[in-house]
Structure 1
Amino acid sequence: MRLLPFIYIFIFGVVLTVALQFLEQPFWLIYIVIIVVYVVLLVLPPIYTVYKSNDLKKIERFLEKNKRKPIFTYALAVKTGNREEIISAIQLILSKYKQPYMQQVYKTILALFENNITRVEQLSTQISKEPLHTYYIAYAEALKGNFEDAHSLKGKLATDWMPYALDAIIAKEKGDLSAFRIAAEESINLARGVQKFNLVYSFEWMEKEMEN
């Protein structure tokens, strides 16, 4: 991570502190203002990039700077489309994050990349939180060819990009490239941050698989 922006922010904080002291502001006010400034300048930008940014280049730069974190390593692996790299990144996540929900979700994702549909079906039911619980159950139904069952679960997916992502998966399993492209584009348009990055490149290699 680059040090220069932090130096600038620190200098700005010092200057602001001196200015507020010169204006004879109370210590508690100076303290609150400095904390707010540091939060806005240091904490909010990366949070915005991870969850809200629409700029893929900016998101990728952030991922590269933070690729020592397994979840971001996974996102970069998805871009490569290399199944072995993706599986390795997921295994790294599973080894580092022991929280039950993380284990449930990433074991399910691992089963997807291992093409183990039976295990995807089994693990998806164990995911403890919505909307991923329903999303991966529907995903498993689509992979089994139970398209009506998968489609019937769309109404339970409250996250905007998920219904269209599910439509794309169903279209892929049906071999309908045109429908896949339309649904994938809608899903990508509605997603933000690292999720958008993952979808862009996931759909990219899915489309290549359909064309081959």
Structure 2
Amino acid sequence: MRLLPFIYIFIFGVVLTVALLFIELPFYLIYSVIIVVYIVLLVLPLMYTVYKSNNLKKIERFLERNKRKPIFAYALAVKTGNREEIIGAIQTILTKYKQPYMQEVYKTNLALFENNISLFEQLAKQISKEPLHTYYIAYSKALKGNFEGAHSLKGKLPAGWMPYAIDAIIAKEKGDLSAFRLAAEESIHLARGVQKFNLVYSFEWMGKEIEIN
């Protein structure tokens, strides 16, 4: 069934090419038009799902179709809440993607899920790009009980899901389930795409941890 939309797009491309040839447009112009059409019909919908969609079911279907890619497999592992599965997914990412920034971010995440808070804080400080540099340092301060420091850094984050995520982490560490849920809901509301998917299920198992404790 997944092939059907691509077949329709291919047929549309062929028909469009014939139509453009019929009106005797220059070859380079026909080629450019066809490339743009394919990008719009094939690439943009995928980019929208990954970065902008609010539809969790649609995002999950996309992740399932693309779970051979380690980053998408990681998102599905987060949904399970299984720490060992998440750690395994992160290790696969670190093996496959050697770009410095990817290594910085996912080594930091690995330390987080291994519950090595000291290493998590150390690696957070080494992240070379904003806003994740500030976000993870604020996260580490919240985990170490430095709520004032975490709150101060939160104010330096761009408007969006990150400041509310820090509020949720602070509330979790304080054991304040009501404040946690309010902050988590606002963070999820402001997030989009795969990031939204990750937050929904991360906050879900965090909330369960608060209830247990």
- Scaled by the length of structure 2, the TM-score of the pair is 0.97
For this pair of structures, how many residues does the alignment match?
212
Q: Which moved more, 1:24-33 or 1:56-65?
A: 24-33
Per the alignment, residue 61 of structure 1 pairs with: 61
Letter in 2 for 1:96: K
User: Paired residue for 2:136?
Assistant: 136
Instruction: Provide the secondary structure at the position in 2 that maps to 1:153.
Output: helix
Distance 1:64 1:159, change over 3 A: farther
Q: How far apart, CA to CA, are the structure 2 residues paired with 1:9 and 1:159?
A: 38
Counterparts of 2:53 and 2:74, CA distance in 1: 18
The residue that corresponds to 2:21 in the other structure is 21
Distance of 1:45 and 1:120 partners within structure 2? 35
Runs of 4+ in structure 1 displaced over 6 angstroms?
Answer: none
CA distance in 2, matches of 1:159, 1:66: 30
Alpha-carbon separation, structure 2, partners of 1:3 and 1:118: 48
Q: Give per-residue Cα distances to partners, 1:102-151, cap 9 Å, x unaligned.
A: 11110110111111110011100000000010111111100000000000
1:197 aligns to what? 197
Deviation at 1:24, TM superposition (A): 2.1
What runs of 5+ residues in structure 2 fail to find an aligned partner?
none
SS of the aligned residue for 2:155 comes to: helix
Q: What percentage of residue pairs aligned between the two structures are identical?
A: 84
The residue correspondences of 1:94-113 to structure 2 (distance < 5 A) are 94-113=94-113
Aligned match of 2:206: 206
Alignment partners' CA distance in 1, 2:164 and 2:180: 9
1:13-50 CA-to-partner distances (Å, cap 9, x unmatched) read 00001111112222222111111110001111111100
CA displacement at 1:199 relative to structure 2: 0.2
Secondary structure of the residue that 1:158 maps to in structure 2?
coil
Matches within 5 A, 1:32-51: 32-51=32-51
Specify the SS of the correspondent of 1:91. helix
Distance apart, 1:159 and its partner CA: 5.0
What is the CA–CA distance in structure 2 between the aligned matches of 1:62 and 1:17, rounded to whole Å?
A: 30
TM-score by length of 1: 0.98
Q: Does the 8 Å contact 1:142/1:169 carry over to 2?
A: yes
Indicate the RMSD between aligned Cα atoms, in angstroms.
1.0
